[in-house]
Amino acid sequence: MRPFLVNLFTDPAILRVPGFIRPWLGKLIAWRRTAPAMENYAVLGGKSPLLELTIAQGEALDAILAARDPSAEYKSFVCMRYWHPMSDECARAVKDWGAEEVLLVPLYPQFSTTTTGSSIIAWNEAAAKIGLSLPTTTLCCFHSDEGFAAATARLVRQSIEDARNTLPLGVPLRVLFSAHGLPESIVKAGDPYQWQVEQTVEAVLRQLNMPELDSVVCYQSRVTPQKWISPSTEDEIERAAHEKTAILICPIAFVSEHSETLVELDVEYREEAEKLGIPGYFRVPAQNSDLAFITALTDLVLRARNGGRALCSFAGARQCPKQHGDCPHARARADAPARPAGMPVSA
Ligand SMILES: C=CC1=C(C)c2cc3[nH]c(cc4nc(cc5[nH]c(cc1n2)c(C)c5CCC(=O)O)C(CCC(=O)O)=C4C)c(C)c3C=C
Ligand SMILES: [Fe+2]
Ligand SMILES: [Fe+2]
């Protein structure tokens, strides 16, 4: 656990302090985080299911790609950011396989400098180190992709039906779209993540087409003592409990089950909600290898190979928006209505 956390907290994209302090401070924070993190993973039997679920997503993607485009040979390689298989192992496997072209597909729907941006930097460094120099396209994000939004909306709709069938008549239900949080300073420095999360929620709500639905966007998993973006999922749970409203939590920034859904949402927040007397607590499952989600991912991959209209070729710098001159996401951002006063500016 500790080497994983050291890798995480010594990443300059995560710990934004001068370079000479980072190794020391990163190790100190990792040291302090080890015990609570171990407790979380203990609930899952001592390990995260994330790698297995990601491998399964890659295999499902390969199967649909093979059926949809027999003119090319596709193979997914899984790459994790802070534990094995990491970029260097993955780049070597890609080279050994004899790939002629690379498409980097983040499994973070929304771009953040702390996640996708950091992963692209790690990939570029690893590929350069082993002399892997292939035509490479990068999918920066798919926050508003209609296929992704439709697949997510289908899961939300099913969970709403299940919740309504369980709840006594007359108990109101609110959907909490819960995204991973981020320190506010990172968003203020230009990280487009929060804006993209809001875009995802709007796209999912459009697909749901339930104008009467009560919903809110909130942010979970605060890790450091700085000010993180708000409202927090915990505060929204408390508000719902006081308003005698049942909640359905939809993880909106993860596409796989892992500790932050299976432990934080399913155990910790649930316990807190029940203590506060919430009339109902439900959760939308993550996409994992859901067929509609993998089909949406397949469409994104094929569009990338056939001209890349839905993609941007993000080169790997920290400030995503400044790199996206001709990116449809950047254009959508420019067209977005002004944010309400007082809201942090994300892009
Ligand atoms: C300052 C610290 C962190 C930031 C910022 C952060 C952003 C961020 N993370 C995810 C998704 C995941 N994070 C996961 C694990 C994890 N993340 C942090 C810290 C920050 N994340 C820590 C310390 C850990 C380790 C677990 C823990 O100590 O609680 C994981 C993997 C979980 C698993 O089951 O293995 C994911 C996935 C996003 C989407 C994000 C910001 C956009
Ligand atoms: Fe994280
Ligand atoms: Fe983009």
- CA–centroid distance, residue 114 to ligand 1 (Å): 9
pLDDT of 206: 97
- CA–centroid distance, residue 265 to ligand 1 (Å): 14
Q: Per-residue pLDDT tens for 172-208?
A: 999 999 999 999 998 887 788 888 899 899 999 999 9
Residue 180 annotated as binding? Answer: yes
Residue 7 has pLDDT above 90, yes or no: yes
- Closest of 140, 70, 66, 112 to residue 300, by C-alpha: 140
In this structure, the residue with its CA closest to atom 29 of ligand 1 is 37
SS3 per residue for 191-234: CCHHHHHHHHHHHHHHHHCCCCCEEEEEEECCCCCCCECCCEHH
pLDDT of 303: 82
Nearest ligand to residue 26 Cα: 1
**Residue 4 alpha carbon, nearest atom of ligand 1:** 25
Q: Per-residue pLDDT tens for 282-333?
A: 999 999 999 999 999 999 888 877 765 334 433 333 333 433 434 444 433 3
- CA–centroid distance, residue 320 to ligand 3 (Å): 7
pLDDT of 41: 96
- Residue 150 or 302, more confident: 150
Average pLDDT taken over every residue of the chain: 88
- Residue 342 or 144, more confident: 144
pTM (two decimals):
0.90
Residue 268 annotated as binding? Answer: no
ipTM summary value: 0.93
- CA–centroid distance, residue 333 to ligand 3 (Å): 10
> Which residues contact residue 72 at a Cβ distance below 8 angstroms, ignoring those fewer than 6 apart?
305
pLDDT of 277: 98
pLDDT of 187: 85
pLDDT of 315: 32
**Which H or E run contains 76?**
none
pLDDT of 323: 39
1-32 burial, b at 16+ Cβ within 10 Å, e below that, comes to beebbbbbbbbebbbeeeeeebeeebeebbee
- Closest of 245, 261, 262, 242 to residue 253, by C-alpha: 261
Residue 239 has pLDDT above 80, yes or no: yes
Q: Give the relative orientation of helices 87-97 and 118-129 as an angle to the nearest 10 degrees.
A: 50
- CA–centroid distance, residue 178 to ligand 2 (Å): 14
Structure tokens belonging to residue 118: 């950091």
CB atoms within 10 A of CB 283: 20
Please state, in angstroms and rounded to a whole number, the distance separating the CA atoms of residues 233 and 225.
Answer: 16
Residues 155, 158, 164, 165, CA torsion sign: negative
Q: Which domains does the chain have, with CATH numbers?
A: 2-43 (no CATH), 50-143+291-335 (3.40.50.1400), 148-283 (3.40.50.1400)
pLDDT of 271: 98
pLDDT of 246: 98
Q: Per-residue pLDDT tens for 118-146?
A: 998 899 999 999 999 998 888 878 888 89
pLDDT of 310: 38
**Residue 44 alpha carbon, nearest atom of ligand 1:** 34
**Residues contacting ligand 1 via CB (< 6 Å):** 5, 8, 14, 33, 37, 40, 48, 50, 108, 112, 114-115, 180, 182, 193, 223-224, 253-254, 258-260
Q: Per-residue pLDDT tens for 41-97?
A: 999 999 999 999 999 999 999 999 999 999 999 999 999 999 999 999 999 999 999
Local confidence band at 221 (pLDDT 50, 70, 90 cut-offs): confident
Nearest ligand to residue 259 Cα: 1
